[in-house]
Structure 1
């Protein structure tokens, strides 16, 4: 294979692998300075590299608190979870680059070998998956460092094992994508199958992550970390080989993974490479464009409220929407909080004594942190643009449009709040938070989320868009630099964690239950006043812009 040819193919395929909003932003920047040559592919590659490094540092530092050496379950479970995330995210990336791009017919007249085309497209996909790949690699580096400090041999063994695992995941994703896209059912129901694949992978990985963090935190508190369940035992072979490379059992386990890798290489050479041109062209030929705008009837027998509910039941039935918006925004704060809770529980001998009404102030900060994560990028931030042309059609109907937008906001807010509230109450009950403290946290959560959601709702109306192709593009259409946002996220987390820790220490030494209740009441009243003021102001702005 020719490296220069592969590099050119990578540059071309980065357009398909990258988010449309990111490409549009780079092209807008190029339009402002037409005399300055802007390498879009290079910018995209650097952006993914930087973002991957940020996640590498975040998850590397975050999970370095676990004892990977003496508790292999910590290592195995995190590697298994990020492996699952890599496959679930990789499926859609592979599909977009290999099949949805519909550019394979243009390569045939040129002197590109099938292997070069696959290599170029595969590298493009790998770059987009660095946010999942690099955190996975970090665990293979943390383990040898914890075992013997900066040991070059151990680090090399860790990287060697990581490469084997990534090779298996990569080839398995290629084969999975190839086999699924060849089926007649996929050709007829591409969106449905894609949503199911993404949904199952995300639900399994994030659900298992949440469960394992709960179990790990609880058992660290009770037993010091013993008897933590292992999610996928075959990954134990990597743990054994890195720590004991000359052990017979460890060598045998690693040879098993190498055998799987060789089998997958053979399958790709025999099945995928000879057929992927025809399979991709068949998918492109069978795809049809469906008209999204449908007739909307407001029946005389049904009330206006029933019409709004039934209409949004159809509008919110997209599987990708449920996974990327509702599930991710609900679980994301617990990814950070539960890891910190495990470390704190180990150091202070249990969390139960610190989850009473006496600690309402730090628990309030925790609720604020969760509420912020549960609000940004939710349904309320895309609910209007999600309607596309239907929105203007509804606006032309003889209905009270202000009332419609009012009901729409609260319906979207209610739908996106169901899972976060269930998780908040469930996690609190699991850790034994006092019932009054749970109620207090829920009130603070509501006060935190309403102003953020109404702000995003009005912003979506002001920046109403129909020119989007997928939910991800719609969610990211107005976002700035992803690396800068990740850095700001780290700063926000650091500040909030610092405030929570300081408030716990301050409460432990100086705050009684009565004083905690008084302070909480003051915070709640001030927060409610601010929340109501922002809500009224934004609703008034929305009504003024409607002009009805």
Structure 2
């Protein structure tokens, strides 16, 4: 049974998960129990939509006859869950500013821990739900009754995710106890999250490079995940039974270790780490006199020193799109393309910027990083238009660098010619600018000055479910548009191909100009 304290803590954390959504429901008259129910209902509906979307995408795959694809997708979402869990656990427990407020209250440390993990799960579930669908599809196609397949896959999904949470928890809390962490907290956690990100991206790259798809339908299975495949493909086999025993046994052992070594010292660890972070953040460096523009730029660059901010931006806004692009959209494009294909790759560069610039990007949170300083700057005799323009330039430059790195990685992997790479870079520059306009204005509209950890900023406007839905739809639209455009270029003669390119160029120029003018009138011109 869930205790009343734990229920209360979960409700409080749910309210804090997305403050903007909470305030919106409060303005509509929802309070108390009705407010929390509304928030849970919205989360459930978003999750269901995400499941239906991915269910539709995976409906054509018969995983019961494709062990290679089964193990590939399971490995993909385990790696995603691992990297997200590492950063999420550190953000919620050690980088947040709300936990010290809980500790003096008469709450059990176990309930504080479980409530944070429960709400953290809402952020990580979107990255792993497709794994649940893979489990279900495999069990159902293997002949299991649909109701039994649903229950069987949910149990398996919860077991795998629980094991992942526990392992990540031990990694983070274990590091916190070391002397190295106490001396170099940010360095140690940044290194851990960087390593987890490299493992995730590197793992996906290796799986793609080692894939043998000669059969045209499946790929080489990942051997260490084959016992998990047996759980859903041959649920009553000895291999399946042994897998369940090992998995459940490992979870029980990890829970016992957690109760013995982590929970009893939770309060002490959180207090020491948060106090250290607070004291270190108060250190200031003296600098020489600067002009107004130089001072504004120096201040904006200083915001980037927010603990683990850059890593969080990279993990949430770069790694996830990059992995999805690598996993679902890569093809062998090593052939030499004629110049008539330049428009296709220009548009591809624009779509790349749409996929990699989202609510977790730096440009989408740069205004809110000011916290209460925003109101202070607003009260000064400084042009707000000029102030925000300096911010926008910094965020745009940062996003260009990020997108350029991703584009170069993609170009090397798919062996693009330099002419097509240049076309993609130019398209990326234009697309990044237009998308940055949207997300910069969105940050101004949804700006938050009292956030406790960076995850709250990323969750504005729908959270990770909305981000993953948007990303998936963007990938589908990108594939559709680029596919139609490529087919036209491929089948048309050279002259008609250039006519199509000119039409597309005209549409992009006119559409981009109208888009820019709209934001200039409705945003920039409204600032003084």
TM-score scaled by length of structure 1? 0.75
Corresponding position of 2:497: 516
| In 1: Cα distance, 2:87 partner to 2:411 partner | 35
Q: How far is 1:189 from its partner?
A: 5.8
| In 2: Cα distance, 1:534 partner to 1:32 partner | 32
Q: Does 1:101 align with 2:102?
A: no
Q: Is the 8 A contact 2:186 2:308 kept in 1?
A: no
| In 2: Cα distance, 1:27 partner to 1:395 partner | 23
Residues 397 and 341 from structure 1, CA distance in 2 versus in 1: closer, same or farther, beyond 3 angstroms? closer
- Residue aligned with 1:107, SS: coil
1:478-517 alignment, distance < 5 Å: 479=461, 492-509=474-491, 511-517=492-498
Residues 320 and 214 from structure 1, CA distance in 2 versus in 1: closer, same or farther, beyond 3 angstroms? farther
Corresponding position of 2:356: 374
Corresponding position of 1:30: 26
Q: How far is 1:149 from its partner?
A: 7.1
Q: 2:309 aligns with which of 321, 329, 349?
A: 321
- Residue aligned with 1:106, SS: coil
Residues 289 and 38 from structure 1, CA distance in 2 versus in 1: closer, same or farther, beyond 3 angstroms? farther
Q: Comparing both chains, which one has the higher relative contact order based on Cα–Cα distances under 8 Å and sequence gaps of 6 or more?
A: 2
- Residue aligned with 1:39, SS: helix
Corresponding position of 1:224: 216
Q: How far is 1:290 from its partner?
A: 5.6
| In 2: Cα distance, 1:86 partner to 1:515 partner | 47
5+ residue gaps, structure 1, are: none
Taking only aligned residues, the RMSD between alpha carbons, in angstroms, comes to 4.5
| In 1: Cα distance, 2:252 partner to 2:10 partner | 27
| In 2: Cα distance, 1:27 partner to 1:411 partner | 30
Corresponding position of 1:288: 278
1:211-360 alignment, distance < 5 Å: 212-213=207-208, 216=211, 219-220=212-213, 224=216, 228=220, 230=222, 233-245=223-235, 247-249=237-239, 251-280=241-270, 288=278, 294=284, 297=287, 299=289, 314-318=302-306, 320-341=308-329, 357-360=339-342
| In 2: Cα distance, 1:398 partner to 1:297 partner | 22
Residues 286 and 387 from structure 1, CA distance in 2 versus in 1: closer, same or farther, beyond 3 angstroms? closer
Corresponding position of 1:416: 399
Q: How far is 1:94 from its partner?
A: 4.7
| In 2: Cα distance, 1:153 partner to 1:455 partner | 45
Q: Is the 8 A contact 1:361 1:516 kept in 2?
A: no
| In 1: Cα distance, 2:318 partner to 2:75 partner | 22
Task: Provide, for residues 306-325 of structure 1, a one-character-per-residue CA deviation record: whole Å limited to 9, x for no partner.
Answer: 87776655443446432343
Q: How far is 1:238 from its partner?
A: 0.8
TM-score scaled by length of structure 2? 0.78
- Residue aligned with 1:288, SS: helix
Task: Provide, for residues 120-176 of structure 1, a one-character-per-residue CA deviation record: whole Å limited to 9, x for no partner.
Answer: 555444444322343332222122234447566666554444343233223334434
Corresponding position of 1:47: 42
